[in-house]
Amino acid sequence: MSAPTDVTSETKELTIWQTFKMLLAGSRGFWLVNIVNFGDAIAYFGILTLLTVFLGTNLGMSDHVKSVSVSFYTGLVTLFMFGGGFISDRLGVRRAITWSLIVIGIGRVFLSASPFGLATNMAHLIAWFGLFLMAFGTGVLQPALYAGIKEYTDTRTATIGYGLLYSIMNLGIVLESFISPFIRTNDVFLNLKVKQIVGLGWGIDGVFWICVILTGVLLLVHISFFTKKVELTDRQVPAVKQEETQTKKTFLQKMKDLPFLDPRFMFFIFILLPVRTLFAHQFLTMPDYVFRAFPHEVGAKFEWINGLNPLIIVIFVPTIAALTRKAKVIDMMIIGTMVTALTTFLLVPGANLTTLITYVALFSLGEALWSSRFLEYVADLAPAGKVGAYMGLAGIPWFLAKFTTGLYSGLMLEKFVPANGLQDTGTLWFIYGCLACISPVGLILARKWIISFQKPA
């Protein structure tokens, strides 16, 4: 047990800047993985942000059908990630990324080309097939990216490496949010005395096809530069190698190792389901809400408003984590989920641009307060030797939120925010806000019970 302690002390002696410099001068594999991470974040969220609107406007799906379609797509991404890790391990990082980009690219082609199937009534089936391929490919790609960071960092650079992976992904989302309106609309974005900058006006179809092209470029870059030689020679040698011992266990013994029988763990992850539905509504409800309840000028810049979230996350997640590192995690969870839930009531008075921007900013701040502490607390709850099992099951609430929210969000849109007719947006967000409040209230009521069995620091 002394060797890991030595590694930890060695890691603490390095400053953030020293660690970052080591990564800059380190393996090409690390940065090649992050090129894919950055580019696919642009393409993935470029499509997801406008997907519900595309399925309704371009394919004629009803609000209910399109919300269920998007919900199943995002849910399948999470579901496939459970098995995608095994596929990634078997293929290796380089080959897993290659094949996942191929599958994702084919899926994005089918989705983008699906309007051509309207004449033969095949458009919906083509789109669903494309979404299935995209979900499967992403389910393999995401574990491969994390595995790549593990392979191309060592004990001194791993923490910063994972942080950069998350930050680079969010920077991709910010860039996508900025560029997308220029592609989609023909509005004048900058009216200068000398020159005007006007959007291309290619519509949502244009945004999706650009994402297809970007996927192809990523694949070419990956195949050209992430060679087998890079894969083999750039792997970082761990400072300490720990021997892994495997023992054969019966099925019942394996089941006992899982945290299903831990009541505090099960309560903790499932009490977060209500507040997590708000995150699903950001791509299931928010696009149609903005396009239908606000003037055209606001809808034309929707991606800019949506892009405030990743921008705030990039800035405030590490800042808040540093400032609150001594605070109890459960208290940060309560405060963060409370901010996330209560912020929704800002939308109750009605559609107002200033209120909408304030909502997005505060909602993102709430996310920064608690989302990064969630897995930390799950790891703290887990007994020794069971952290992996606990971490894997900690994704269940997000999986359920993605799947279940779409089952009713479309019906709620049809009732309260129809494309044509009288709208009652305030009632919609009041209901969603009340539902989300179950999470912080539940955490408050169970705080003593959870803390009493929390492992000592």
- Reduce the DSSP state of residue 190 to 3 states and report it: strand
Residue 387 pLDDT exceeds 60: no
Contact call for residues 118 and 139 (beta carbons, < 8 A): no
DSSP 348: T
pLDDT per position as a tens digit, 119-149: 888 999 999 999 999 999 998 898 888 878 7
Contact call for residues 100 and 85 (beta carbons, < 8 A): no
Q: Phi/psi at 347 (nearest 5 deg)?
A: -85, -5
Pick from 238-252, 410-424, 442-456: least confident: 238-252
Q: What percent of the chain has pLDDT over 90?
A: 37
Pick from 46-60, 308-322, 328-342: least confident: 308-322
Residue 428 pLDDT exceeds 50: yes
Tell me what the mean pLDDT of segment 409-430 comes to: 93
Domains and CATH numbers, the chain: 15-236 (1.20.1250.20), 256-457 (1.20.1250.20)
Contact call for residues 433 and 281 (beta carbons, < 8 A): no
Mean of the per-residue pLDDT values for the chain?
A: 81
Predicted structure pTM score: 0.76
Segment of 57-71, 161-175, 376-390 carrying the highest mean pLDDT: 57-71
Q: Phi/psi at 52 (nearest 5 deg)?
A: -65, -40
Q: How confident is the model at residue 93 (pLDDT cuts 50, 70, 90)?
A: confident
Count of beta carbons in the 10 Å neighbourhood of residue 404: 16
Candidates 299, 283, 292; CA nearest to 70 is 283
- Give the sign of the dihedral formed by CA 218, CA 69, CA 58, CA 351: negative
DSSP string, 434-455: HHHTHHHHHHHHTHHHHHHTSP
DSSP string, 112-178: HHGGGGGGGT-HHHHHHHHHHHHHHHHHHHHHHHHHHHHHT--TTTHHHHHHHHHHHHHHHHHHHHH
- Give the sign of the dihedral formed by CA 222, CA 225, CA 231, CA 235: negative
Contact call for residues 373 and 332 (beta carbons, < 8 A): yes
Cα(414)–Cα(411) distance, rounded to whole angstroms? 5
Cα(141)–Cα(84) distance, rounded to whole angstroms? 8
Higher pLDDT, 157 or 172: 172
Burial 283-301 (b: 16+ CB within 10 A, else e): bbbbbbbbbbbbeeebbbb
